[in-house]
Amino acid sequence: MNKTIRQCINNYGETPRRFSLWDRLTYLRVSKPAWLHRNPEDRLSTHFKNLNAVFSHGMVTWGHVIQANALMFEAGSMDCPGELVYSIDDNERADPAYLEGVANKLFRLKGAEPSDPKLRSIAHYLTDEMIRVFGLPVPICISPSISCMISTSFFVRKHLPNRRLCSPLLPIIVNRHEPHHATPLPERYWPQELIEWWKK
């Protein structure tokens, strides 16, 4: 899988990336959903304000879904938010198997009441489902080998093969610097073998 993520990085290109006006107005344009316009206090709005910067300057790495709206795992038209775990420190060591283990440990905190304050805070956030985080550090007891972070994201169907989440593992783009907004790498930049794996 290291070869695959390197292909994604090469396909997407070096920063700062330049996109055609047509792509910026169509393929890369992501509009806020109607329900978010009705909730001005929802911090997810900042994701959309930072999205152009993520596309232009973000790094490509593996991301793993911790949780996402169940609608995204089915065919449909609605785009939905969810939570991603990833590392911006080391693409080689933050391999899919490692991220899967971290994501599973984090998801098991949902609905729990850990005694550790850091774990309790993450448990509360995952249980609430309306709290947004952008670069929340994963505690060492969950990820002892490498530094990982969690960010709320927004899954856009036109950027995913089959227009849905077929797997919790996917290439993402994330800001190296705060705020650490993250978004799935659009399908156009995925190598063909990754698209075929995803669709299976």
- pLDDT for 103 beyond 70: yes
Q: Is the residue at 84 inside a domain?
A: yes
User: Can you give the pLDDT at residue 72?
Assistant: 97
Model pLDDT for residues 141-197, shown as the tens digit of each residue: 999 999 999 999 999 999 999 999 999 999 999 999 999 999 999 999 999 999 999
Residue 1: is its pLDDT beyond 80?
A: no
19-75: pLDDT as tens digits: 999 999 999 999 999 999 999 899 999 999 999 999 999 999 999 999 999 999 999
16, part of any domain: no
pLDDT band at 2 (very low <50, low <70, confident <90, very high): confident
Range(s) of the domain holding residue 142: 2-11+21-199
pLDDT at 92: 62
pLDDT of residue 78: 96
94 pLDDT exceeds 90? no
Tell me, yes or no, whether 101 lies in a domain: yes
Q: Within 10 A of 48 (CB to CB), how many other CB atoms are there? A: 16
Identify which of 128, 188, 180 has the alpha carbon closest to the alpha carbon of residue 150.
180
In sequence order, what are the beta bridge partners of 83? 67, 152
**pLDDT at residue 36, as a whole number:** 95
Tokens at 57, concatenated: 């300057």
Between residues 119 and 92, the one the model is more confident about: 119
pLDDT at 113 over 90: yes
Q: So what's the pLDDT on residue 91?
A: 63
Specify the number of domains making up the chain.
1
User: What distance in Å separates the CA atoms of residue 66 and residue 174, rounded to the nearest whole number?
Assistant: 16
